[in-house]
Structure 1
Amino acid sequence: MQSASPSGGHFELTAVPAMAWQRTRAGIPAGALWSSLIVFLLVLTIARSTVAASWVPGLLDSLPMVALAGAVTMGVLALTPLPWWLSVLAGLLAGPAVAGLIAAPIFRADNVIDPTATGANLINAWLTKVSDGSAFGDRAFVLFLITWLMWVTGAWLSWCVLRWRQPMIGLVPGTAALATNVLNFPGDQNGYTLSFIVLTFALLLWSNYTGSIAKAVRVNMKLMGDARWDFWETGVVAMAGLLLLAIMLPPLSNQDRTLTIQSSLFSSWAQLQEQLNHPSSAGQGTGTAGGTTGFSLSVGLGGPLKTSKNPVFTYTVVGTFPGPKYFRGANITETENGYWTYPTFPVDWQATIAKGQSPEYGEDYSPMALALFRINMVSPPRGSGDVLFYPGQFFSVDRSTVASEVHASPDTVTSSSLYTVDKLSVFNPSRSNGAYSITVGYPDVSEDELRAAGSDYPAWILPYMTVRTTGYRPNDTLTRIHDLAVSLVKNTTNQYDAANAIQAYLRGDLFRYTLTPRLPDRGQDPLDFFLFNSHEGYCQYYATAMGDMLRSLGIPVRLVNGYGPGSYSTSTGLYTVHDSDAHTWVEAYFPKYGWIPFEPTNDHEQTWNPIQRKTQTVPLCLRDNLCVPGGTPSASGSPRVGGAPGFQEPNGPSGDGTTGFTLKSLDAGTVTRIAGGLLALILIVFGVVARYLRPRTVMGVWKRTLMLARLAGTRLQPGETPLELSRRLSSVFPEAASAVRDVARGFVVAAYAPPDLAPSARTPVLEAWVALRPLMLRRVARRLRPHRA
């Protein structure tokens, strides 16, 4: 029987992948393979950055595969002869479909939708949530948008690079996504930022190079021998310089203005829908229809609140502030129509305070600890764009301001005399945008001192001690609230313990913090429903309950609307306060010590904690000691702006460390700078070497030939002529024989021929060097890595 196989032949399965790869690579246009690789790496970098940002915790792990799938899909379409509009349309339609498939299970689970519901049912339910504004706070909707963005990032970049040869246009959505991640979650983005910068420069260089070569081929232009070498030498050096600038220069902004616009848009949309759906709820506060988190001049007991992440301001502290970092916007003193509010009627007193000056107060509280807050107002709250926010008691600010006092004392005798600043507003200009430094004080007193403060209240405090019996709440509700307060304080003997008892009751396990509280039946008072039925609500419910109970007992109290401490970033050294940090708390008045804050809200997540009294063990900047906060370095640690990389305060962002600096382990930002600097140094060295290997004279070519030959293992022998050396190099390096001979002959002519003939050797020698250089570099590399030979 004869064999059907070719004589002497055999078939190797191992050759199949290599053959397939060679055919695939041969079918891809020149340069597209490397372009695709850089695109895929860029897309993965942006997607992994978004996963690290954790916009929707635990649900973004699929983003890298989505972005890569979009890049591969549009990359394949870009290399096909299909019309561009058809390919782009296919990519646009695929994006929301993929995002919908990924987000649909979460949407079903969060909204209790029948698992058997059709796609049309899901779309209809989603459109309903978009129309009423609730979708913007839905994690499934956020997941859908981010997944769609990642598909667009990969698909658009791949298409623009491989089909349109326009990488700058393709980078737009991905750059916007990465910038949003970096500005909002800078702590985990250093590596992704460096990778993005390097890959972006590489993509732009490679795209420019391949585009230039393609144009030269189309017009039959012959490139000079060192044209390619010149391009990469210049490109690499420029890349190193730009990389150093990118990682060493300070950022243009620490705030995400894109996110501000987006958040404001979403909040405005939701608020507009609320007003359209509930016309009666328009006005200040949340009313009964709910709204979004943010600052307001009223304390409404409304319906569900939607969280807004709009950044409002950033701040740092100079010195130690012993009180809570609760930023006062307005003291809420009046009660009407079931809620507390800042008055709509003209206040009793307003005093103009010059820049850097302190108001004259009618009472002096002691001991008063001072601190300096440096605040940068990024996005003032809507409707209160002139309000300055600060913790504690106001002393001075580097702005011209107007201090408003709702209830002025009858014995006020001068235009600058104030007993309290219920709202601090700026004028000329009348917007609080930008940076301001404000000095504030806090009465650092102990619990025993507050217990002994007594109840000898001055006359001006009387409006804060009583509950309105008409136009506020039903009388039976006021009676029930008073009776509850009496039962809670029956075992106390002073005002401080009474306030603490009510605070402890509201912070107990009976009550549950939620932004989506149940609403009372029509006609039922919302506070009555909160205290005696639902026991669930947000900070406005807790503060209103404590305020009403204290006033029913004759204890002077007011509510305060403002913001909580915000979140600290180790990479920027700043606290950032968002709309979601908006808060309402309680302040009670104690003779000799003034207004002391209380925290009745307990979200059981350690966000709002009971306020500590005189527990500081570090030195304070006391007013009685004529201390000036910020005038000299504080003895205590506090977050700093622009501190030396790798150094941080001993106790981190709390600002309660000890004197001096402590060397800590390198932070992520410092590591990134070091890595970027090393990479830039490597690129600069590469550029220097490249410039050295591009001589402009015949003698320079000959010297570099001898140098490369020596590195490759062949040295010039004593007494050996250039032609003799070329013959020996030709035998040692046979692949370079022709180029070596041309260089040697040209050198002989340039060195020994008559002056009128010597210049003619330059051009042939430089052309021969272009051919010889890569061959000799490969020989040097083989000698340095013999195992790869």
Structure 2
Amino acid sequence: MIEQIQWQLKEGWTTFFLAWGMVLIAGYTMYEADLTAGLQVLMLIGTLGFMSGFLLAKSQFPWRVAASFSLVYALFAIGYILGARFLSADLTWNERVAELIWQQQEWLQKVFSGGTNREPLVFTVHTAFIFWVIGHTAAWYTFRTLRIWRVVLPSGILLLSVVYYYYGPKPLIAYMAIYLIMAMLYITRTYLAEQESEWRTSSVHYERSTTFNFLRASFGIALLALFISWQLPALTASAAVNDALGGVNQPWRRFQNNWTRLYSSLRSYGGGINDPYGGSLPLGGPRNVGDSLVMDVFVPQKLPYAYWHSTTFETYEDGQWSAPDGERVVHIPDDGLVDTPLEASRQVITQTVRNFIPNMGTLYGVPQVVGSDRQMFITRQLDGSRNNLITQVQSRYILQQGDVYNTQSAISTASVTELRDAGLAYPTWVDPYLQIPDSITPETIALAEELTAPFNNNYDKVIAVRDYLRNNIEYNDQIDAPPNDVEPIHYVLFELKEGYCNYYASAMAMMLRSQGIPARVSAGYAAGQFIEDANVYRVRASDAHTWVEVYFPRYGWIPFEPTASITVVERPLGEEGEGLFEPGVNAPNGPANDRNDFLEEDFLDPNDRIQDDALNFNNGASQQRFTLFGISDGVTLWRIAAGAAVLILSGIAMYLGNIINTRIETDILESYGRLSNWGKWLGLNPTQTQTPYERAETLTSVLPEGRKPIRNLTQQFVLHNFSPHDHTTDFNSQEEWRELRPLFLKRTLAKKWESFSQSLNWRSLRRRLRRRF
């Protein structure tokens, strides 16, 4: 039987709207995150769950019956709302219900048997049930059985997890701030509601403005705490903490991998990543990249050449390269390797990469990366046969320090003879890689023509240009930027005759294009240090590099090394491509290798890890995530939120503790009761026959320095209870407690330490220590 709900709600309508508001804020944050379409229904479902919980909390039903009713309501409400919103109107309701059930069965099958779920409605259904539960429990634990943290934490943790893993453009952290303020007001209001109930029962008179004053003070404390927390300096990710909490074999890592597999349809964002290469590559001044550890790459055996590819650049103009425009699509591991043009003399190898850069987006591998055990974004164009022409590969979900992944690469094994005989039958889609801006000087073109004229095949022409640059341009990564009125490639070739990899690669690409040879510049990392015993390439920031890739008909893009400081790519001389590995060594789709099996942990210096924003190989390439309150990353956001919560809760505890303490110490009866409690903590057990003065004497026997305030408080208790006359009204018990409280604390701590010391057998302990040492 539902009780009559009066307009004067016992817990207060402010409490009602604050509890409901926290559910709405969490739902609205999910909607703003835009993880999938239609999440606006979460606010409605959360509201229905809250109202259901409110009515059931006000009923006489026991909690098990109420929970059963709530489950029935949830099944009906969620099924009706989602069925009407997301499923075709042409289906009957029986068919819609069957479709929802079938999708859940398919999802459960993938949970236990593997596979990737791509149905977005599954996530919406699961989240809808979570919000129903959050709404129901928020109302139940507010209006039936008060459990503050069971109201605040569920929606708060959900909201924090969304904000923490969101890298999109919207300032979701602002909703976190609003939630923290509402949570503090809710905690304050529910405490006051309890006190008001006690005051009314005890016929204690209090000002009606007390509620408003408390809420106003709580709001001010919350704002102050948030303001202070957002003034704290940004903190970088801790590699040591990341290793401790997020090791390769830790359950949390497995949970993250399973999450991306089972909810693969969720939208992800590329903002906030710390990739060193962006969409452009300028020819600028000195290069300073540091020597921090970037990644370890395990391979089946040492490769004849290795580049770790990040970005491909197509267009050169005004001294700057830009990446080609392309479609960005999702590729899932279950789909196998990416369909690329069929090219001769290619062998697929698997690399296992351990990342050491916080917030990394790129999936590295030898060109051409064609697969990964991670869901990935591929930036592509299509050839005439609708095969993928890949220019960049990124992880769909941002990588953190310590993350391990596999990539599969179709590495070229073409021999010198094969490339010499490749011919000139270029497909039309390579035309953009023949582009030459008007700024390229006649001297540059003439030099390229002079170098290539003696040869009748493109391979030897490429080698001629490469060797000229390696032999005539001195490597120097500290050169000044070229003057504004001089073309950078011309400046390096004919005036400065010094440069670093960006200049070597740009000069070679432009010179080859001027002779009708398709060429492009690729950026990433050179091979790094190869550790023989572990088959691991150790790659550092100082290995950041650009190189040239030249297109050969039937064989695709082939890398060449024009930079004098890097070893050239040596190709086999035979008439047919030679395999890179012995039979059985390569396992293209095998499981990830555990790097710790190959490298001892003490070989890694934790201080060697790269930090956020430490990489910036070109102007503006490193990206940062902006929020309403400034720049933040996931780790900083977590600390800010945690710091704000601690400050808020500390402020609440101090404020409410002071109120409670004042009420106790100014009340004669409660003040005397506190004296009795202190006596018990000091080990005193007064009998029922002792008078108050006898109990006071017993207490002063163990705390003689507190004799005066103890006797004064006892005397006021006796006068209040037993005197026919009014006791002294101007007596200030708080003054007595200011003197007595530190004495009690000091004596109680001394008593506890004495008991602890006596519980230890020091003689036996010393004897055991002597035997051991």
TM-score (structure 1 length as normaliser): 0.39
TM-score (structure 2 length as normaliser): 0.40
If asked which structure has higher relative contact order (CA below 8 Å, sep 6+), I would say: 2
